[in-house]
Amino acid sequence: MPPRETDWLKTCYASPWLRAALPLDTSMTLALRSSFALCATLLATTATFAAEPIKLGEFASMTGKEAVFGQNVNKGTRLAIEETNAAGGVLGRKLELITEDDQSKPGESATVVKKLISRDKVVVILGEITSGRTLEAAPIAQAAKIPLISPGATNVEVTAKGNYIFRVCFIDDFQGTVMAKFARDTLKLKRVAILSSVSSAQSVGLAKYFRERFTSPTTAIAAEQKYGEGDKDFRAQLTAIKAAGADGIFIPGYYAEAALICKQARDLGLKLPLLGVDGWESPDLIAIAGAAAEGCYLSTHFSPESKSPVVVAFNQRYQKRWGISSNALSVLGYDAAMLAIDAIRRAGSTDGAKIRDALALTTNYPAVTGSITFDTNRNPTKNAVVLTVKNGKFTFVQDVSP
Amino acid sequence: MSEFLQQLLNGLSLGAIYALIALGYTMVYGVLRFINFAHSDVFMVGAFIGYYLGKLVPENTVWGGLVVLLAAMIGCAVLGMVIERLAYRPLRGAATLNVLITAIGVSLLLEYSGQVFFGATPRTFPAVFPSSNYSFGSLVISSNQILVIVVAALLMVALQLIVYRTKIGTAMRAVSLNPKAAQLVGVNNDVVISFTFGLGSALAGAGGILYALNYPSIDPLMGVMPGLKAFVAAVLGGIGNIPGAALGGLLLGTVETFVNGSQWSTYKDAIAFAILIIILLFRPAGLLGKFTVEKV
């Protein structure tokens, strides 16, 4: 059956090619990737009806404040799709990835996820790396009964949004505990101050867990200060923390603000250890903060320095495909996509409810970031790693199991 | 005590930047009686000129820094004059509301064409000036903070001299007082207005560089919040009044910093703006503004 003209147009419109034509600075990489996607789409639509590709939707911060996150996750996701397609696809069909940019803005995620569901008719949604934007999209995916797998939303509330929401990362309850223990037992800190964001769901949650877990008869929170997303001046809060006599600062937040906080803390003569979270892991942190980032500690999902054969093999494939080394974000993107593909295979169908059931039954799935078994709340139990910044590079410090 | 002094210092260096931007708002208002909302985006363009030029001059040198600062000021002055010529001059004599809407349009145009040309991703601003920290007891001051305060003070003095001691400054004041009468005595209004835009935009360009030096992560929407605060500072000091804008900027920066360093930091903007409302309740024309009755 020759494809109807309207079908062809719809596929073309749905393909990221048109969006890649937007002259944003990521357009070049998008265009390269999309030319593959478009070729695949065209080939598929002109071939038989049965070989129509399975559409996976991804929403990510490809531009804007957290662009580094979205772009890295996207590289991992695309690697997963390309590897699967090279190995013959799934259920005898090729996969097609449709990536939407949420511009790192609140409000935009809901719009692009609605578009992915209603216009592109994707079978699974992958994203987002941040908790705030995943929380925004989750109710939409839940209502449409389309499984959503977040690569990196660590806020506890995310999977509580419904039984179609999954994640491949640990949760903040655990991450807060890891950093509290690290501050108390490894760094032997007694009075740590918290500087958290009022507008990030992840930051609010992490501040709470850190406060609960760090406080003990011999240790206390010296001060608690807040900032808003997009703030540039943190000298006032840091001066207050300095006056409170803190011996360390816990800063749950994203790299854009964290980098400026590190820089201004050092400018104010604060030489104490700065403790961060997974949202810090970006080359931009080091580019903006420079020498001020040296000696900071952060917890994250994965260290590319790991010697496990799965990680080494992944790093080689990633390096070969993109010419850069992998990081936690790209690996999480890869894991989320591979888990989705695995679930489609196990479900033997592209029906949302069947994929959901297959996902919920995931047991000991060998992901690059560690084995994934979902608990009843659709959260995996995974290890965390602590990294530090040494000579302008993220360096492995220790592994922490729950 | 040392915490108080440190916060005061932090507040002054933030306020000095607000003051520089506020001067541009106030000058244009003084001459044309409208708010140039595109001003905060000229500030952003200034930072980006510095970003691209900063890569060409050697880092951490005084002369390199001064070249970048001057180039950004000149670039922004030209941009300000071009905006005035293309967007505002054709509307001269039209209702103020039309010009205001145009200003918002120009602002959005600059912000989103900035996203197209510079990209929406934040960039790291190069360290064009040498920087070091000095401590006096527990008080720490960075050379960038000193630079901000010194450059802002010098530019404000220069501005005051231009407005009160030069021919073009006299013409500006004449146009501000009564444009028609100024024209009758031989002042070329177009030239004066163009000059005003150039001067205000140059200050915004300098503000952009100083801001980026202190907060070295720049993006096309970076002007929005400082622009809003500077506008508030201009109103606070008495819009149309040059020393008022400087005072308003310093006051707003200091208040914001003190609230930010307290336990109410979540409400810093709410408190800063509440203070604005209270001051305007008691002094409707701003701190240094003169209350004038609109002639009908």
Token look-up 């409400």 returns B267
pLDDT at B107: 95
Residue B277 has pLDDT above 70, yes or no: yes
Per-residue pLDDT at B103 exceeds 80: yes
The mean per-residue pLDDT over the stretch A152-165 comes to 92
The owner of tokens 């640990």 is A170
**CB of A70 within 8 A of CB of A47?**
no
Question: B141 to chain A, minimum CA–CA distance in Å?
Answer: 7
Amino acid at the residue B278: I
Residue B125 lies in a domain: yes
Task: Flag whether B292 is in a domain.
Answer: no
pLDDT at A303 over 60: yes
Residue A37, pLDDT score: 53
Taking residues A361-368, what's their average pLDDT?
A: 92
Report which of residues A267 and A20 the model is more confident about: A267
Question: What is the tens place of the pLDDT at every residue in A196-251?
Answer: 998 888 899 999 999 999 999 999 999 999 998 878 889 999 999 999 999 999 99
Task: Dig out the tokens for B164 from the structure.
Answer: 């009160």
> Which of A266, A267, A282 should we substitute to test contact with B (largest number of B Cβ atoms within 10 Å)?
A267
Q: Is residue B293 part of a domain?
A: no
Across residues B126-132, what is the average pLDDT?
Answer: 86
ipTM of the complex in this document: 0.83
**Calpha distance A196→A180 (Å, rounded):** 15
Q: How far apart are CA B5 and CA A277, in angstroms?
A: 32
Which strands sit side by side in the sheet containing A384-390, from one edge to the other? A220-227, A191-197, A248-250, A274-276, A297-300, A384-390, A393-400
- Nearest chain B residue to A287 by CA: give it: B124
Q: Out of A103-107, A198-202, B119-123, B281-285, which region has the weakest mean confidence (pLDDT)?
A: B119-123
The pTM assigned to this predicted structure is 0.81
User: d(Cα A337, Cα A147) in Å, to the nearest integer?
Assistant: 12
- Inform me whether the pLDDT recorded for A3 exceeds 70: no
Sign of CA dihedral B107, B112, B115, B116: negative
**Strands, E assignment, B133-194:** 133-136, 139-142
Q: What percent of chain B has pLDDT over 90?
A: 51
> Given pLDDT bands bounded at 50, 70 and 90, which one contains residue B118?
confident
Residues of B in contact with A24 (CB under 8 A): 115-116, 119-120
pLDDT on residue B129:
87
Please determine, for residue A44, whether its predicted confidence score (pLDDT) is greater than 70.
Answer: no
Interchain CB distance below 8 Å, B225 and A236: no
Residue A290: other Cβ atoms inside 10 A: 16
Which amino acid appears at position A113 of this protein? V
Name the interface residues of B facing A (CB cutoff 8 Å). 2-3, 6-7, 10-11, 14, 115-116, 118-122, 124, 133, 135, 140, 142, 144, 211, 214-217, 219, 222, 225, 256-263, 265-266, 269
pLDDT higher than 80, residue A281: yes
A317-349 pLDDT, tens digit each: 999 999 998 888 999 999 999 999 999 999 999
> What are the structural domains of chain A?
53-169+309-382 (3.40.50.2300), 172-300 (3.40.50.2300)
- Answer whether residue A279 shows pLDDT above 60: yes
Q: For residues A79-108, give the mean pLDDT.
A: 93
Give the SS3 label for residue B70. helix
- Segment B279-285 long-range contacts (CB within 8 Å, at least 24 positions apart): B279/B236, B280/B235, B280/B236, B285/B238
Nearest-10 Cα torsion for B255, B257, B258, B259: 80
Kindly indicate the confidence band of residue A12, based on its pLDDT and cuts at 50, 70 and 90: very low
Q: State the DSSP string of A90-117.
A: BTTB-EEEEEEE-TT-TTHHHHHHHHHH
Q: Render A143-211 in DSSP notation, one character per residue.
A: HHT--EEESS---TTGGGG-TTEEESS--HHHHHHHHHHIIIIIS--SEEEEEEESS-HHHHHHHHHHH
Mean pLDDT confidence for B68-88 = 95
The rounded percent of chain A whose pLDDT value lies above 70 is: 88
Which of A14-23, B246-255, B278-287 ranks highest by mean pLDDT? B246-255
Rounded CA-CA distance A165/A360 in Å is 10
Please state the rounded mean pLDDT for residues B259-285.
Answer: 84
User: Distance (Å, rounded) from C-alpha A4 to C-alpha A12?
Assistant: 13
pLDDT at A300 over 60: yes
> Exposure pattern of A92-117 as b/e (b: 16+ CB <10 Å)?
ebbbbbbbbbbbbbeebbbbbbebbb
Amino acid at position A1, single letter? M
> Over 80: is that where the pLDDT of A170 sits?
yes
Q: Which of A99-103, A280-284, B24-28, B270-274 has the lowest mean pLDDT?
A: B270-274
Q: Is B7 within 8 Å of A24 when comparing Cβ atoms? A: no
User: Domain range holding B148?
Assistant: 2-282
Averaged pLDDT for residues A119-130: 93
Chain A, chain B: beta-carbon pairs less than 8 Å apart: 96
The pLDDT value recorded for residue B51 is 95
Cβ(A98)–Cβ(A55) below 8 Å: yes
State the pLDDT at residue B199: 93
User: What's the confidence (pLDDT) of residue B122?
Assistant: 83
Is B90 inside a domain boundary?
yes
- State the pLDDT at residue B198: 95
Q: Kindly give, in sequence order, each residue whose CB lies less than 8 Å from that of residue A172, ignoring residues fewer than 6 positions away.
A: A131, A154, A155, A156, A202, A205, A206, A209
| Single-letter code of the amino acid located at A24 | L
Q: How many domains does chain B have?
A: 1
A260 closest CB neighbour out of B211, B215, B219: B215
* Residue B275: CATH number of its domain: 1.10.3470
- Give the pLDDT of residue A35: 54
Establish if B78 belongs to a structural domain: yes
Residue B290 lies in a domain: no
In a domain, B295, yes or no: no
**Least confident window among A33-47, A379-393, B31-45:** A33-47
Q: Is residue B296 part of a domain?
A: no
For B206-246, the pLDDT digits (tens) are: 999 999 998 888 989 899 989 999 999 998 898 888 889 99
Half-sphere exposure at residue A152, Cβ-oriented, CA atoms within 13 angstroms: 32
